[in-house]
Each structure stands twice: as C-alpha cells, then as structure tokens.
Structure 1
Amino acid sequence: HSLASAFNAGGPFMWVILVVFAIACTVVIDRLIFYFIICKPNGVMLAAEVAKALNSDDVEKARKIVSKQRAPMNILMQTAIERFSSGMSFEDVQKGVDQSAIREMPRMTQRLNYLSLFANIGTLLGLLGTIVGLQAMFGSLAAVEAEKKAAMLASGIAQAMNATAFGLIVAVPCMVFYTSLYNKQQQITRDLDEAIVQLLDYLEKKLAAGKK
C-alpha cells in the first residue's frame, strides 16, 4: 500500500519511467538469451571440430556442426565451409566470410546501447518529475494558511522526490546490466575473431596443399 501511495504521489512522470523500465527489461532479456544461449563462447573448439571434419573430407559433418546454432560465428563458418566445398579459392572464401561478417556482426551489439540510453532517460525523467511536482506545490502554497505551510512544504518535497528516486531505481540496474552485457559481448566477439582466424588459417593451408 505504501509503495502504491508513493508511486501515485510521484506524479504522471512515474508512469513514463515505468514504461522505460518495462522496455529496458525486454532489452535485457533479449540480450541475455542472445549472449548466453545463442552465442556460446566455444569458438576455438567449434573451429577445431570443423577442421577435423574437413580433414576427413566430411563436408556434411562440418555443415551439421555449425548448423546447430544460428549465432554469427556459426553463420560465418557456414559461409566458409560452403565456399570451400564449392572449390573456390582462398581469396573467395575469405571474401565471402567478410561479406557475411558485415551482415552478422551488427547482431552482436544490437539494442545493447539502448540500456545506457534508458539509464539516462530514467534519471532525467525523475528530475523532471520532481521539478514539475515542486512547481505545482509552490503554486498551491499561496492559498494555504501560514501555520500549515511548513508541514505542506515538507510533505510536498518528500512526494516530489519520489520521481527522482524511482528514476534512479530504474537507471542503476540499466547501467549495471549494460556494463555486464557489454563485457560479455566483447568476450564473445574476441572468441569469434579467434575462431574464424583459426578456421581460415586451416582452410588456407588445406587449399594450398591441394594445389601441390
């Protein structure tokens, strides 16, 4: 009951901040699923499995290995495998991987920056709600008896500060999740780069050996 009263006392900006919080939650859930379920950081192991399959000339097995997930790394490897199995040169294989990377890499950072934006919006909306609340309170003080002004002023300030408090309650988790997810994204990107370089290095050597 007290939480509901505090929320209602914060004014209309509390609802706007709540909407921002709800959108931020959907972004966090989306990124958690993408980084921890779709993009598992096992790139070097995956590249080694693909290389082992291709070393046995088992292209179909290599395809199955990378088709288990639709992560950017798997799609880049799939492109390399398809071009390699089509008899293309290493330059064409590398070109295809680069083209796929242009399409797939934006998925790594997609919507992540929104969390930083929502943190700032939540804080600013909270301050704006407090300012508007204080303005309304001071405007109504003129019609109040002198002996009641002090009590009304203290109550009004406390209520107006609810908006700032709620804005910060939304902003702090947004920044914590943004930092954590950004670090996870960097880790996955490094893993992807290492795995793709390892696979391309193997394909280059295999294609060079095939020409001899």
Structure 2
Amino acid sequence: MTGTLDMLVSGGPIIAVLLVLSLVSLTVIVVKAIQLWPVTSGKAARAAALETWKSGDRHGAQKALEAGKSPADRVTAYAMRAMTAGLKGAALEAELTRRGNEELASMNRMIRLLELIAMISPLLGLLGTVLGMIQSFQELALAEGAANASLLAGGIWQALLTTAAGLLVAIPAAVAASLLAARIENAAQNIESAVGQLMLADQNPNL
C-alpha cells in the first residue's frame, strides 16, 4: 500500500488526474454495461408477437411485447398501438423515427465520455513523462556533472510512470467503448428490423 502511495506522489498531479479519470471510466463502464445488457434481448418474443399480429390478434401481439426490456420491444409495441389506433403513413414513420432516435441517444449517453478518456489519457501520460524528463535533465544541468547515474535513472523512472498510467487508463476505456458501441449498433439494427417486418406484415398479411 505504501509503495502505491509513493508511486502516486512521485507521479505528481498528472497521476492524480489519471486516477480520477480511471475511477470515472470504471464507473461509466459498469453503469453502461448494466444499462445495455438487455438491449439486444427479446428477438424470439418479437417474432412470436409478429406471428400473432399476422393472425389478426393485434391486442395479443401488443400484450406480448409489453413486458419487453429492449428498445426494439418498446418501439415495436408503440408501432402496434399506433397502427391499431389508425395512425399510418408519413406521420407514423416520423414518430417511429423520433422514438428510435431517442432510444439510440439514450443508449449512446456517456459512450463519448469513455472515448474521450481513452483519447486523452495517453496524452496526459505523455505530458507527464515530458515534464518529468525536463525536470530530470534540469537537475542534471544544475548539478554540473556531479549527479550520479542512479539519480538520473530515478528521475526518468518517475517520468515514465505517467505514460504507463495513461495507457492503463486508456486501454480499458477504449475496449469498453468499442464493445458497448457494437452492442448499441446491434440494438439499433434490431429496432429497424422489427419495425420493418411489422410494416411489411401489415401491408401484406399473407406473407
């Protein structure tokens, strides 16, 4: 524990900033993982609801999707309610687009923050390293050749610490942002597919 504290102190304010970014990153990753876990669920339930819709049981189809937890379930359930109420054409398409965009915006919330952390953490680490190297060579210059190699090596080690810390913060953030973005894209495709199949089934009940 003491060694970790010594490393944080040696790294200076850059390490402190990276530590805060790491805590923020881990918090966002956990929150988004919990939020996005169910967004690709319910494919089988939507397929069954669509078959129910095709059979003419519109109320049964809507009820089957009411308990759905994914964005595709919510948007499809709304589309069924709206179509049952007589809404159609451009007005229906505009409202479905709006709801789909809202779902997408909700899923994407805080993903940009992860991407930002992944981008700036290595830069902060590099900045800390450069500042540390400058300080080390300034001390060497002031010593006028009297400084020994161990003193210089110690200063360089402390400087390189910030680069390592920056990479340790950036890598998990970048990986998580990529995986979460892929899950969001999959959920968006599910919305488009479910609504498209519903519209097609309504126009061509025999398909």
Give the 5 Å matches for 1:1-16.
1-16=2-17
Q: What letter corresponds to residue 19 of structure 1 in structure 2?
A: V
Matched with 1:135 is 134
Give the Cα separation in 2 of the matches to 1:79 and 1:182.
25
Q: What letter corresponds to residue 42 of structure 1 in structure 2?
A: G
1:131-169 deviation per Cα after TM superposition (whole angstroms, max 9, x unaligned):
222223333334547443422111100011111110011
Matched with 1:105 is 104
Give the Cα separation in 1 of the matches to 2:134 and 2:25.
29
Matched with 1:35 is 36
Give the 5 Å matches for 1:1-212.
1-37=2-38, 39-43=39-43, 45-54=44-53, 55-59=55-59, 61-89=60-88, 91-144=90-143, 146-206=145-205
1:65-114 deviation per Cα after TM superposition (whole angstroms, max 9, x unaligned):
32324532122112212212213335544343223223222223222232
Contact 2:124 2:166 in 1 (8 A): yes
Contact 2:79 2:195 in 1 (8 A): no
Query: What SS does the corresponding residue of 1:105 show, helix, strand or coil?
Result: helix
Distance change >3 Å, CA 62–CA 104, structure 1 → 2? same
TM-score, length-scaled by structure 2: 0.84
Contact 1:10 1:162 in 2 (8 A): yes
Contact 2:42 2:68 in 1 (8 A): no
Give percent identity, aligned residues only. 26
Q: What letter corresponds to residue 119 of structure 1 in structure 2?
A: A
Give the Cα separation in 1 of the matches to 2:86 and 2:169.
54
Runs of 5+ in structure 1 lacking a partner? none
Give the Cα separation in 1 of the matches to 2:167 and 2:36.
26
What is the Cα deviation at residue 33 of structure 1?
Answer: 1.5
What is the Cα deviation at residue 14 of structure 1?
Answer: 0.4
Query: What SS does the corresponding residue of 2:57 show, helix, strand or coil?
Result: coil
What is the Cα deviation at residue 56 of structure 1?
Answer: 4.7
Q: What letter corresponds to residue 14 of structure 1 in structure 2?
A: I
Runs of 5+ in structure 2 lacking a partner? none
Aligned length: 204
Give the Cα separation in 2 of the matches to 1:168 and 1:140.
27
Greater Cα shift, 96-105 or 168-177: 96-105
TM-score, length-scaled by structure 1: 0.82
Distance change >3 Å, CA 72–CA 199, structure 1 → 2? same
Give the Cα separation in 1 of the matches to 2:68 and 2:135.
56
What is the Cα deviation at residue 20 of structure 1?
Answer: 1.1
CA RMSD in angstroms, aligned pairs only: 2.4
What is the Cα deviation at residue 189 of structure 1?
Answer: 2.2
Give the Cα separation in 2 of the matches to 1:106 and 1:205.
32
Contact 2:46 2:65 in 1 (8 A): no
Q: What letter corresponds to residue 125 of structure 1 in structure 2?
A: L
